[in-house]
Amino acid sequence: MHEFSSPAALADALADAVAAALAARLAREGAAALAVSGGTTPVKFLQALSAKAINWSRVTVTLVDDRWVAESSARSNAALVKNHLLQGPAAQAAFVPLVNGAATPEAGLAEVEQAIAALPLPFAAIVLGMGLDGHTASFFPGGDRLAEALAPSHGQRVESMRAPAAVEPRITLTLPVLLQADFVALHIEGAAKRELLQSGAAKLPVRAVLARNPAPAIFWSP
């Protein structure tokens, strides 16, 4: 676990690590894809990353997961990314949303699947968050499509998800897409999240990501 004294120090170090993963992929292949998480934790990190001097015009940004809401909603992760990451140098990046005009994620899924399949996969970098119920991405305990998201059929890259704790219906990248990335980070803040991770509770969905070899880089601050 990489421990930092403050959320700001963590944000800077995580932005450095993600920028390095993007730059390495750009040097090798000339194009790179990045998926970041929404929620409340990532704002400082997204702002730090937006200022990094990489060739953003060759980078496509998307989300690990999003709530099925319009971008005008305060709950939209797409809006969060536009407001905090796609600014300054990073405004040159392309953005592929996980949410479209369909009424539900189930109805919109096939179109999003095509858009994700068109990215320069595997992802150069993925940044995950975690909730206090042990969810990461939209892998919620008790989610209606949790088994499918963790073990998708036919190589499906996205899955819909409904769960009581999720508030709205959601859409999420599937586990193999996350695990195949060049660089996978788990960004958590606060004692409660660290204790949950260290509790050894086996059934938490986040365990599916922690089992990756090599293990994800865990970035923690109070």
Ligand X SMILES: O=C(O)[C@H](O)[C@@H](O)[C@H](O)[C@H](O)COP(=O)(O)O
Binding site for ligand X (CB under 6 A): 37-41, 64-65, 67, 77, 129-131, 135-137
User: 7-29 and 43-50 are packed helices; what angle lies between their axes, rounded to 10 degrees?
Assistant: 50
Inter-residue long-range contacts of 105-109, CB under 8 Å, 24+ positions, other chains counted: 105/68, 105/160, 105/161, 105/169, 105/170, 105/171, 106/160, 106/169, 108/68, 108/171, 109/158, 109/159, 109/160, 109/171
In angstroms, what is the minimal distance from the CB of 206 to ligand X?
9
Contact 89, 52 (CB under 8 A): yes
Q: Name which of 25 and 67 has its Cβ closer to ligand X.
A: 67
In angstroms, what is the minimal distance from the CB of 67 to ligand X?
6
For tokens 């586990």, the residue is: 175
Q: Name which of 37 and 221 has its Cβ closer to ligand X.
A: 37
Nearest one of 143, 148, 189 to 164, comparing CA atoms = 143
Q: Name which of 136 and 221 has its Cβ closer to ligand X.
A: 136
Q: Name which of 67 and 145 has its Cβ closer to ligand X.
A: 67
Q: Name which of 65 and 113 has its Cβ closer to ligand X.
A: 65
In angstroms, what is the minimal distance from the CB of 27 to ligand X?
29
Question: CA 38 to CA 40: how far, in whole Å?
Answer: 7
The partner residues of 173 in beta bridges, in order of sequence, read 158
Query: Cα–Cα distances in Å, from 12 out to 32, 144, 219?
Result: 21, 36, 11
In angstroms, what is the minimal distance from the CB of 65 to ligand X?
5
In angstroms, what is the minimal distance from the CB of 127 to ligand X?
9
Residue number with the shortest CB distance to ligand X?
129
Sign of CA dihedral 140, 94, 125, 155: positive
In angstroms, what is the minimal distance from the CB of 35 to ligand X?
10
Q: Name which of 54 and 138 has its Cβ closer to ligand X.
A: 138
